[in-house]
Amino acid sequence: MNHYDAIIIGAGFSGLYQLHFLRENLGLNVKILETADNVGGTWFWNRYPGSRCDTESKAYTYYFSKELYEDWNWSERYPTQPEIEKYLNYVCDKLDLRKDIEFQTKVTDLIYDNERKTWTTLTNNKEKFSSKFIISAVGCLSYANMPVIPNKNKFQGEIYHTGDWPKIEPELANKNIGIIGTGSTGIQVIPEVAKLAKKLTVFQRTPNYSVPANNYKLTQNQKNQANIDFHKSKELMFQHRGGHPWTHSHISAKATEVTKRNALYEKAWANGGLSFRDTFSDLSIDADSNLTASQFIINKIKKIIKNPDTAAMLTDFDHPFGSKRPPIDTNYYETFNRKNVDLINIRKDPIKSFKTNGITTEKNDYELEVLIFATGFDALTGTLLNMNIIGDNNISLKNIWQTGPKTNLGLLVPNFPNLFLITGPGSPAVLTNMPRAIEQHVEWIGNCIKYMLKNDYDSIQTTVEAADDWTENVQEAVKDNFFLSAKHSWYLGGNIPGKPKIFIPYAGGLNKYREICDLVAQNDYRGCIFTKTT
């Protein structure tokens, strides 16, 4: 059995930086185990047409090395999946990480031995590794949600999930295609597939408020400016609750005079992107203010869509703006004006089953050659709980998280010594620009391990009390936010049948969260117990 100081699971943004940090700063012997045949994580699997990041390229990138930042040139305001995949390969090669990654290796079991203070890792290839530390870098949106529709094996067409898209691009041209799902992914894939398909039928359960991305090619001047602004952007992201490079608004929408308010919305709409939700300070906590944003978006959608029935379906919202993760788009609404695109309301006419050449709803039949599921993920806990993780005293993670995840800071789990979670449940994670949350976690974990080595500690474990307190804190942080009113949202586990309905990420802001994590570290990792073998 091969022994390592640390095993990292996953070779996306988190795993790559964690490997680099532990190897270069602490001189540890580290191995990444990765299911895919190359690096990329979420950007390896989500290679569907139109896949692109909603965060701007100048911010959706590593900031731990200025050299790494300056030596890479993004070509568009929002990076495409192929470009991010290339970027992560560039990082991997530049930092010489590949030699410490084992690809096509899926971790199936993690078992802790308290006497030896060691983890054993088992894989699908029947390999066995031992290590002192395990660091989960499995990503938050890595376990695809595939709804169960009866008679799937009868269907003679092709089925794809956007989160597990084949490397060899499927032939979609001139086919009858269906897409289920109109979240951030559906909103990206629908306009691209519409251009290829003979006919595209979109099966919508819930409409989403989408704001234009306003993407553009970056000029050399813009690229140079991003390099000049490196430290300024880093500082802005550091201060922002979501880790984005802009400042928070301090103006209330409802307290702003209507003409001025509309002018500010128009400006934000024209600018495009995720900053629209920061136009005013109270959109996520005040119903009247929130209504001004939803009404503004509804008016915009109705102006774009030619068919009033389609417009009604696309604006039949059951949740306030921003309570689900707001998507941004390129020609999403315009796509529904195309002659080859139909929108079907499956809340009114639910899908019943597959048939040989399509699907059947309660009232209709749809002939399809291809069906694409853009149905999202079992977020934040799905991948973790699909491994068999056994901690101290034979405790299984699946059992103790039956009623919802319990962590200290989203980083540590009681009874699971020396297991660290990057962007785990209970951390700001998916509510942020992910690379900022990832860098903060990688550095906190790396510094914690450094502290352990310095003090000759061989294990760290959070107390149950500290994890209980933090879990309460996570619920407290979201109690005034509209996030709780979108009952089917994946933030709440509402998209997965049987999943506990509990708000999973920490909504108090990455800036505040970072301060809390720093304070815990400065106080000798308050809430954690260390052991030392003498």
Applying CB under 6 A, the residues found at the interface with ligand N01 are 52-54, 141, 147, 180-186, 188, 205-206, 325, 346, 374-377, 430, 488, 490, 495
- Comparison of 333 and 490: residue with beta carbon closer to ligand N01: 490
HSE toward the beta carbon, residue 51, CA cutoff 13 A = 20
- Which residue is closest to ligand N01 by CB? 183
Do residues 238 and 244 touch, judged by C-beta distance below 8 A?
Answer: no
CA atoms of 482 and 209, how far apart (whole Å): 14
- Comparison of 139 and 446: residue with beta carbon closer to ligand N01: 139
Do residues 185 and 46 touch, judged by C-beta distance below 8 A?
Answer: yes
Name the minimum Å distance from CB 532 to ligand N01: 41
- Comparison of 53 and 301: residue with beta carbon closer to ligand N01: 53
Name the minimum Å distance from CB 365 to ligand N01: 17
- Comparison of 14 and 495: residue with beta carbon closer to ligand N01: 495
Per DSSP, the three-state class of 533 is coil
- Comparison of 413 and 429: residue with beta carbon closer to ligand N01: 429
Contacts of the segment 301-305: beta carbons below 8 A, 24+ positions apart: 301/333, 304/333, 304/334, 304/337, 305/333, 305/336, 305/337
Do residues 459 and 410 touch, judged by C-beta distance below 8 A?
Answer: no
Buried b or exposed e, range 465-481, using 16+ CB within 10 angstroms: ebbeebbebbeebbeeb
Name the minimum Å distance from CB 299 to ligand N01: 22
Name the minimum Å distance from CB 273 to ligand N01: 11
- Comparison of 243 and 417: residue with beta carbon closer to ligand N01: 243
- Comparison of 33 and 430: residue with beta carbon closer to ligand N01: 430
Name the minimum Å distance from CB 203 to ligand N01: 6
- The 8-class DSSP code of residue 6 comes to E
CA atoms of 489 and 511, how far apart (whole Å): 24
CB count within 10 Å of CB 287 equals 11
CA atoms of 466 and 469, how far apart (whole Å): 5
- Comparison of 135 and 351: residue with beta carbon closer to ligand N01: 351
Name the minimum Å distance from CB 238 to ligand N01: 21
- Compute CA 355 distance to the chain's CA centroid, rounded to the nearest angstrom: 33
Name the minimum Å distance from CB 319 to ligand N01: 9
Name the minimum Å distance from CB 183 to ligand N01: 2
Do residues 131 and 121 touch, judged by C-beta distance below 8 A?
Answer: yes
